[in-house]
Amino acid sequence: MPINQHLIQRCLMIALILLLVGCAGDNPEATPIDSVALLIEASNNIRSKDTFRLYVEQSGAEYLIPVYLFNNELVNVEFRFARAQYVAPDTLQATSRVIAVMPLDVEVLARGNEQWYQLPGLGWQKGEFAPSFNPATLISDDSGFQAALTALKQLEYLGETTLDDGRPVYHLRGIADGPAVANLVVGLLDLQGDIPVEVFIHREERYPVRLKLIQPDTVSETEPVPTTWTIDVFDVNAPSEIITPEQMGLEQTTTPEVTATDEP
């Protein structure tokens, strides 16, 4: 049977068009994006939610953080990860894995300016696990997501991609002021100077699903990979699973008295 040249040409043309369309998802220019408007929209969206969960993970160079443990004694520990649920307007419950001689999973409950924590095998104790952290700062006007998303400098749009869990996202990168984004990691960090930040915005839901904060000044000869904090946001508007202080009988728990040697 003779080959129809016109049919072959048409098939080749269709295949070329399909190839170009298929590649467009990896091209930053394929979908024009107003990066600033996108970040403002994402910030407003997450701040309007009633609940969301956070998973904060540290990787790269070792980084010590000061927390209060062992009868409210300030201790420098290595941070590994934290799983938390935020409930509007100012409550957060989390499990944090830290290393203080040995790995410890610390349960933390924060409501407004009050905090309680629990070490394995021990009861709840009132005290500041993360000094001065208030969950409301996650969604306030001048800190948390608002500061991290809307105050980025040297903003770059890197295109569309898909995260390892299958979520479709826009990928952006910029520079943030360290203190402005510290509350994203549950108030555990003293970040100073400019911090490179990568932001991943859900393409359909338009809220931030992942942020990466990088500390370049942590690189050394023995630690060639900088300390990196990855913050994942998920289970948005899921039912609250936080048990209140009243339900746990913690309102009657008092902070240990300050002795004369503890005063500044």
What is the rounded CA–CA span in Å between residue 17 and residue 37?
Answer: 31
What's the pLDDT at 254?
44
Residue with tokens 């009243």: 246
CA pseudo-torsion sign 224, 199, 138, 239 = negative
- pLDDT of residue 12 exceeding 60, the answer is no
Global pTM value: 0.80
- pLDDT of residue 263 exceeding 50, the answer is no
Give the residue among 66, 98, 69, 65 at the shortest CA–CA distance from 81. Answer: 98
Give the residue among 111, 114, 80, 74 at the shortest CA–CA distance from 95. Answer: 80
Q: How far is CA 17 from CA 4, 23, 26, 154, 160, in A?
A: 20, 10, 16, 35, 20
Q: What is the pLDDT of residues 155-172, one digit of tens each?
A: 999 999 999 999 999 999
Q: Which phi and psi angles does 246 have, rounded to 5°?
A: -65, -40
CA pseudo-torsion sign 146, 148, 149, 153 = positive
Q: What is the pLDDT of residues 34-63, one digit of tens each?
A: 999 999 999 999 999 999 999 999 999 998
Q: Mapping DSSP to helix (H, G, I), strand (E, B) and coil, where does residue 117 land?
A: strand
- pLDDT of residue 66 exceeding 90, the answer is no
| Measured torsion, CA atoms of residues 164, 170, 171, 175, in degrees rounded to the nearest 10 | -130
Write the DSSP string, 40-85. Answer: HHHHHHHHT-SEEEEEEEEESS--EEEEEETTTEEEEEEEEEEEEE
CATH 2.50.20.20 fits 35-240, yes or no: yes
CA pseudo-torsion sign 86, 252, 113, 228 = negative
